[in-house]
Structure formats: C-alpha cells, structure tokens
Amino acid sequence: MRQFSFALAWRQAEDVAEGGVGVTREFFATARQVPVENLLLDTHNARIRSGADQADCIARILRKPDQLIALAGDIAENGLSTTPILVEPTDKRRFIVWDGNRRVTALKLLNDPSLCPAASLRRRFEAIHQKHSQAIPARVDCLSSTSHDALVAEVVKRHSGALGGVGQLDWSAFLRTLFMTSHEQSEPNQRAAHLFLWGEEHGVEVDDDFPITTITRFLSKDNLTAIGFGYKDGHLVPLHGVETGIAVVSKINTDFSKKTGTYSVDRVFNEKLQADYISEVRAVVGMPPPPRAGAPYSSSSGSAMPSPSRGNRTASGSAPKAGGTGDTPSTSPGGPPGDPKPSPRPGTPRKPTWDRSKLFRGRSLGFSIPSSNVKAYNIVVELGKLSPKDTPLAVAALFRMLVELSTAEYYRRHPDVPARDGTHKKIAAVARHLHSAGKISEGLRDQVLQRTTEAQGMLQYNTLNNYMHDVNAHPEFRSLNTLWDEIEPYLAACWSA
C-alpha cells in the first residue's frame, strides 16, 4: 500500500465536504473473506451514536426495523450490494466497520437470529434464514484502510440514495454533523452535536432527522452556559449535575423534534426569544433563574461541575477521590466555558472498547453515588484504582458487591418493587419497575431482561457469583469489562431514579 500522505487525505476530505470527489482508493486494500463475527459494529457510528457494546449497537440499528428487514431480505435473495464494506483493522484479525454497519448488522442477524433482542423481529429473521440459509454469506470481502482521513473522505462521499431502506440511506444534516464532529472535521453545527452526543450517551434518543441547524442558531457559547453546560479539557460537561443535564437535553429534544415537538426556529429566532426559552428550560428542569444580563457565570449562580461523564473517556481510568459532602467527587470548571479544543475522535477506537486497562470507560464512574452510602462509595473508589488485567479476582468481587448494593438501594427507595429470590431476578424486577416509571427506555429494559432471564445472559448474577465460589471459574479482564458495559446503564438508573 502506498505511503499515506496527510495533506492529500485532508484535501480529499475538503473536496468531499464541498461536493467534490476525493480519490481515496489507493489507501485501501481488500480484506478477503472476513468472518462476519469478526466485523465489529462501530459504537459511535452516526446511526448508532453511543453504543455500549455490540448487542446495544444491534438494538440501536433496529430502531428502524422495517428498513433492516427489507435490507436483510434483499441480501438473502440478491446478495450484498457492490459497494464494499469499509473497515479499519484492529488487532486479533478483527475489523471495525466504518461504513456498512446496517449491512453487517443484517448479516449478523441472518447468520444468527438469536442476536436479535426483540422476539417478534427475531422470528422474521429466522424465517429469512430458513428460506435462504444456503445463500446467506458467513464471510465477506471488505475494503480495509489504516488511514483515518481516507476513511473519512470515502464515507462522506458515499451517502446518497435510500431505495426504501435497501440502498444506502441519505444523511440528514444531523447525521452528517455527528459524523464530521466525531472525526474532528470542521463543522458549523459542532456545539449542538456535542450536546446531543452527550445526551445520547446518557440515554436520550434523538431522531436521525432532528433539525440540528435550528439549535445551532440558538446555541451560542453564552446560551450553552445558560442551559447548564460548559467545556472542560475539550469535553462537554454538565454544570448542574448529570440528571439535570439529561433533563435539559431531553426537553430540547422533545420541544424541537420533528415527530414530537411543537417548537420551530421562530421560537429561538432572536436574542429575546432565546432568553425566554432559556428561562423556560431552567424552570422546567429545576435550575435557578439565569444570571442577570452581563453578569459572569460562576458557581454562585447554582452550578456544580460533576465528575466527567463516561462520554469523556480517557485511557487512564483514574479513580474518584474520596471526600466531599454529597455525590461522587467532582472537578471544577477551571475557567469560563468555551469551545472545545481538538480532541481524539470519540468513535472507532484503535482496539475494541472491552480491551481497556480499567473497568470504568471514563476517568471515573459515569454516575453519582452519595458519599453517605459509605460502602458503595468506597467500592467505587477502589474499583477506580484497580485494573481488571492485574487484579481480576478483586475487581470481580467488588463488582459483585456493587451490583448487590445498587439493586438493594433501589429496593430500599421503592418498596413497591415485587420481592424476588435471587439477585438476577431482583435485577429483572427493578428493570421492569424502572421502565414502568418512565426512568429507562423500553430498549434498555428489554436488554436487561434478556440478559437476566436467559441461561447464558451477561447480567446473570451467577456469572459474578461463580467467580467467587467456583474453583474452575477464572475471570478474564475482557469479560469483566464487557459485563460492566452491559450492566452500567442499569446501575446508573438504580442510583438516579
């Protein structure tokens, strides 16, 4: 493969952004007959946004089930399209999918319908599988490149032509913004993209056709601060706590969504209207009134910088520091919020997300545990210091204790949750209760139920329990990290709902 030229790849990306065609084929080589199971869905693909793991990526792609069924049926009857799947190689002969996540998802479900989380959809994939079992490919040729800029340019120029879900879907302004932002490309809607990417990482589902340009008109630096967000070390962080931040993004999403919203650009067209809407947002989510015009924003106006969210991932995985009077320790803004510095792409990692040295995916836990709950708080502090690679037994033991305490905490605060014998059954009961109370999405509920009711489910409490009591069960750090990725959203809901 020819030596990579950054300047050339950058010009290609600019050509594509301006409607031209970048010549990137020379940076790609054919990866022949890659097993479908070795293709990893991109957890930060524009259509997926913030997939916790491969199962969550599949569930997110299935948010448009009819389109994926149509695509799967077309692949089974006619084979894959002639447009190659674009991939980036990782270690251990696996590849991260840059373009073709829908096709790869269809292939995974056609080859193994049990991966489909919804029973009704699973039956439809099983029917296609039975009818076309001999024609469904288990291995595919892909175009592979190690050049980040060549991949960016190629993906951008590809997206045109929907064909009712069979072809490659057109990108909305929202999806294009997410892609360009996650790949460090110049993007006028970047600030709004950061807001909604943060929301998606915390459970706010945003439609693919969300009118992001409307929010860009509204979201100046000062207005971003006024609704409770700022930047710390190049990352967007909530200034009034994670729960308040989620409420803010949820309200904006609901207000302006093309499906559910009643607001349009006229609602935030000028400074007066924007100020009125900010006051409305702050009142609804319980923030104090905004500072008077011209007054500097500071902690005296009600802000409290929380711990970096799990969206602010670093390789260090540093532990939270004990102390303080309330929630998990936090950092301070360190100056007025502003635009972010260029930071590494939060998407496609150089290696899978489970291949990390710390249990947590960020600098600290992605949710708050009150310091008044001394045992759970101290468990989190210790988990943040340990490496699953070096001390898997210790991490497994503390992990198991945190699951027990989190579930027990929800039972303590919600005595109407039906009593159950066995921790994994209690987890399922809590997940149903959280969903019925509107605290978690239907997708998260179904995922937790699947993982707790199936014999080999990743959230089966016996998985952690056996690490402690079965002399033949030895925890492996990748399994612990994957198990954490599966159960973290449930744990967060236990402590916040």
The pair of structure tokens assigned to 243 is 């729960």
Q: Is residue 355 part of a domain?
A: no
Half-sphere exposure of 196 (CA within 13 A, CB side): 32
Q: State the Cα–Cα distance between residues 203 and 188, nearest whole angstrom.
A: 25
Which alpha helices (H) appear in 187-294, and where do they start and end? Answer: 190-201, 212-218, 221-226, 242-256, 271-285
Q: State the Cα–Cα distance between residues 40 and 108, nearest whole angstrom.
A: 10
Q: Could you tell me if 397 and 476 lie in one domain? A: yes
Q: Could you tell me if 285 and 163 lie in one domain? A: no
Q: Is residue 415 part of a domain?
A: yes
Q: State the Cα–Cα distance between residues 347 and 44, nearest whole angstrom.
A: 5
User: Mean pLDDT of all residues in the chain?
Assistant: 78
Q: State the Cα–Cα distance between residues 191 and 366, nearest whole angstrom.
A: 21
Please say if the pLDDT value at position 169 is more than 70.
no
Please say if the pLDDT value at position 2 is more than 70.
no
Residue that is last in its domain, among 115, 134, 169: 169
Q: Is residue 332 part of a domain?
A: no
Using an 8 Å Cβ cutoff, are 381 and 255 in contact?
Answer: no
Residue 413 CA: distances (Å) to CA of 85, 349, 407? 49, 38, 10
End-to-end Cα, the chain, rounded Å = 53
Please tell me the predicted confidence (pLDDT) of residue 310.
35
> Domain tally for the chain?
3
Between these two residues, 403 and 4, which has the higher pLDDT value?
A: 403
Please say if the pLDDT value at position 154 is more than 60.
yes
Strand-pairing partners, residue 99, are 86
The whole model's pTM is what? Answer: 0.45
Residue that is last in its domain, among 253, 281, 301: 301
Please tell me the predicted confidence (pLDDT) of residue 292.
60
Please say if the pLDDT value at position 81 is more than 90.
no
Q: Is residue 357 part of a domain?
A: no
Q: Could you tell me if 209 and 152 lie in one domain? A: no
Q: Report which of 384, 396, 402 is spatially closest to residue 477, judged by C-alpha positions.
A: 396
Q: Could you tell me if 13 and 147 lie in one domain? A: yes
Task: Determine phi and psi for 237, rounding to 5 degrees.
Answer: -135, 145
The pair of structure tokens assigned to 207 is 């439609």
Q: Is residue 150 part of a domain?
A: yes
Q: Is residue 42 part of a domain?
A: yes
Task: Determine phi and psi for 98, rounding to 5 degrees.
Answer: -90, -40
Please tell me the predicted confidence (pLDDT) of residue 23.
44
Q: State the Cα–Cα distance between residues 430 and 435, nearest whole angstrom.
A: 9
Q: Could you tell me if 140 and 200 lie in one domain? A: no
Q: Is residue 26 part of a domain?
A: yes
Please say if the pLDDT value at position 313 is more than 60.
no
Range of the domain at 404: 374-496
Q: Could you tell me if 10 and 151 lie in one domain? A: yes
Q: Could you tell me if 230 and 202 lie in one domain? A: yes
Write out pLDDT tens, residues 430-453. Answer: 989 998 888 888 777 877 777 666
Q: Report which of 194, 241, 238 is spatially closest to residue 340, judged by C-alpha positions.
A: 194
Q: Could you tell me if 158 and 207 lie in one domain? A: no
Q: Could you tell me if 119 and 256 lie in one domain? A: no
Q: Could you tell me if 476 and 421 lie in one domain? A: yes
Q: Could you tell me if 153 and 200 lie in one domain? A: no
Q: Could you tell me if 388 and 429 lie in one domain? A: yes
Write out pLDDT tens, residues 253-272. Answer: 999 988 878 888 888 888 88
Report the 10 Å Cβ neighbour count for 226.
22
User: Which of the 8 DSSP states describes residue 267?
Assistant: G
Write out pLDDT tens, residues 91-126. Answer: 778 999 999 999 999 999 999 999 999 888 999 999
Q: Is residue 158 part of a domain?
A: yes
Residue that is last in its domain, among 301, 322, 345: 301
